[in-house]
Amino acid sequence: MNQHHIQVKVSRDRFKNNISHIRNIVKPSQLCVVMKANAYGHGLESLAPTAIAAGTDYIGICTNPEATIIRNLGSDAAKNIKLLRLRMALPEELNESIESLNIEEQIGSIEAAKYLSEGGVKRGKQIPVHINIDTGMGRSGFFSNQIEELKLVCGLPGINIVGIMTHFASSDGKELDFTHKQIEDFYKARQALKDYVDNNVLTHTHNSAATVRVNNESNRLVRVGAACYGVRTSQDFQNPPELEPVMSVKTNIAQVRKVPSGKTIGYGSLFTTQRDSLIASLPVGFGEGYPRALFNKGIVLIKGHRCPVVGRVSLNITTVDITDVPEPVRWGDEAVLVGIQGHEKITFEELADKFKSVHTEINLMAGFMNQISYV
């Protein structure tokens, strides 16, 4: 059954065009389109075929169910596309992956490396792995000065080192000094391993922000997530205009009320009208994925005008001040939460910046909580 009160649309054409543009930026490097967390809430099962058709070399995932969705799409291309796990795996995940999913695993500890080595030897196969070097992200991986441990990993049987990687901590920030330091430390470690790893191994450091902002000539693979969906993780830089947002979120006005001056609106009475006002009630709230933290901060497009969210965002209702909209606003009129209306635009990044979050938090809620239509 369709949800009439909210419309979440994802453009396959924009997704494909974004991937094509990124491929042109990074050539001759290979491209990994990151599709973890249900393709950042955009729908993994629906968009993975588009990513494959657009020519991605890898798809980045985190969980075995994500890998299973891709392998079960039915096409030979989906069965054979390279999958790269973008976090550390649990032993149970590795057991299943080795048997049936053919995921290229990242390893960042001797313990995990030996576990995969033993699994490969036991099954008579070489498990493809990417060595994760921690140059400053601080979440996982070998430190860049653990050269002896890294040499030990390179000599283990049952694994095939196909990649060496790191992950940037602040490539979307105002300053890039720390990113350049991470690159320097990464390639020092790579050079120290030159006699232990095949020269053709895939080196990869760049995420979306770095791919847009930082020279990529030393990488043989880039891992791009946010940019493929036409969004960015920070207001401190701009994507190329060719990268267009893939998702839009719209609803319709459930009621328009004349509210006298001095009246409070919403739970906690966090907003008081300072004039006689027109208030539109929208049939969406944090239950549909519109962040509760946007109370008295959010913006909604109505009749092509930017209208402020007023009062607490409720579970299923959000209230918007439409007093300054010059055209008549009526029950059932369109309200754009994310997207374009007339000459105005609201992006996930703009909303996320208002409550010091990232676009992904809103994307995921919109994608998981509501039906998505693909256009």
Active site residue 267: yes
3-state SS assignment for residue 124: coil
Count, residues in the chain: 375
Helix (H) / strand (E) element for 155: namely: none
Q: How far apart are CA 97 and CA 106, in angstroms?
A: 12
The SS3 assignment for 330 reads coil
Catalytic residue among 36, 40, 229, 303: 36
What is d(CA 7, CA 4) in angstroms, rounded to the nearest whole number?
Answer: 7
- Find out whether 186 and 205 touch, Cβ atoms under 8 Å: yes
**Residue 144: what residue type?**
S
Hey, how many other C-beta atoms are within 10 angstroms of the C-beta on 365? 18
Helix (H, G, I), strand (E, B) or coil at 346: strand
Cβ contact 370:38 at 8 Å: no
187 is catalytic: no
CA 138 vs. chain centroid, Å, equals 20
- Residue 159, token pair as written in the block: 């694994």
CA separation for the pair 364, 353 (Å, rounded): 16
**What is the pairing mode between strands 305-308 and 202-204?**
unpaired
Q: How far is CA 273 from CA 149, 264, 270, 276, in A?
A: 64, 6, 10, 7
Report how many helices (DSSP H) and strands (DSSP E) the chain contains, helices first. Answer: 12, 21
Q: How is residue 129 written in tokens?
A: 């792995």
Which of 79, 187, 267, 354 is the catalytic position?
A: 267
Which residues participate in catalysis according to the annotation?
36, 267
